[in-house]
């Protein structure tokens, strides 16, 4: 099957997704196909790598694990059965503290934390749908990083709804409710990023 053979108006499940062999990378959000943008630019990849490295170093000898895309996160609504899973995302970075959620195909259930680094290909619809999917799945913390604006948004789950912390910019230091003791200096993180080219 080729990507062009798919009916983009149809709803799909992880059972369908797992069989697809085409080159294009896609995500499923509530059964709808979202084609992922072309390979991100070097600034995006550098930011993802630096954030992943900082978290990975922090998590050594701790019970949580951090993963970097491509890594399938299957969000559960009814059951863990492939035919009941209608949202499969590939966040840039995710942290999972309940290691029983990790299997050979990725993560089954909600990560504790998700990090998305924006790229020019991200659409407003995609961002809104991902936000809603992560909130519905009770992801405890959701970071949205903009290389273009050099901003860092942190959404923390409270009473089942995301609450936005004040926008963070270079000069600020990020901390995490999910990873007590972790900190990330945004001046250091963004220092080599040219926002006009990002």
Banded model confidence at residue 120, pLDDT cuts 50, 70, 90: confident
Is residue 141 a contact partner of residue 176, using CB atoms and an 8 Å limit?
yes
Comparing CA positions, the residue from 40, 26, 35 lying closest to residue 147 is 40
| Region for residue 92 given its phi and psi (left: phi exceeds 0; alpha: psi -120 to 50; beta: otherwise) | alpha
Per-residue pLDDT tens over the stretch 39-92: 678 888 999 999 999 999 999 999 999 999 999 999 999 899 999 999 999 999
C-alpha 136/C-alpha 3 separation (Å) is: 28
Mean pLDDT of all residues belonging to the chain = 92
**Which helix H or strand E contains 173, and what residues bound it?**
strand 173-175
E strand or H helix that includes residue 55? helix 42-58
pLDDT digits 0-9 by tens, 183-193? 999 999 998 77
Query: Looking at domain 40-71+89-190, which of 3.90.1570.10, 3.40.1390.30, 3.40.190.290, 3.30.2350.10 is its CATH number?
Result: 3.90.1570.10
pTM, 2 dp: 0.92
With CA atoms as reference, report the closest residue to 133 among 61, 48, 28.
28
End-to-end CA separation in angstroms for the chain = 34
Confirm if 94 and 71 have CB atoms less than 8 A apart: yes
Percent of the chain with pLDDT over 70: 95
Residue 10, CA distances (Å) to 32, 89, 182 in order = 7, 18, 42
């Amino acid at each position: 099957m080729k990507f062009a053979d798919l009916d983009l108006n149809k709803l799909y499940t992880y059972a369908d997704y797992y069989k697809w062999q085409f080159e294009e990378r896609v995500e499923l959000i509530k059964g709808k196909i979202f084609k992922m943008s072309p390979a991100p630019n070097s600034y995006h990849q550098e930011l993802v790598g630096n954030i992943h490295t900082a978290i990975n170093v922090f998590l050594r000898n701790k019970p949580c694990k951090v993963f970097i895309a491509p890594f399938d996160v299957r969000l559960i609504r009814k059951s863990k059965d492939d035919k009941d899973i209608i949202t499969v995302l590939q966040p840039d970075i995710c942290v999972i503290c309940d290691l029983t959620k990790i299997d050979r195909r990725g993560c089954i259930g909600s990560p504790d934390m998700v990090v998305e680094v924006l790229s020019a290909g991200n659409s407003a619809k995609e961002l809104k749908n991902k936000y809603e999917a992560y909130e519905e799945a009770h992801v405890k913390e959701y970071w949205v990083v903009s290389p273009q604006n050099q901003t860092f948004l942190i959404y923390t789950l409270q009473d089942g709804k995301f609450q936005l912390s004040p926008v963070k910019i270079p000069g600020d230091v990020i901390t995490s409710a999910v990873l007590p003791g972790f900190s990330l200096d945004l001046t250091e993180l963004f220092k080599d990023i040219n926002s006009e080219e990002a």
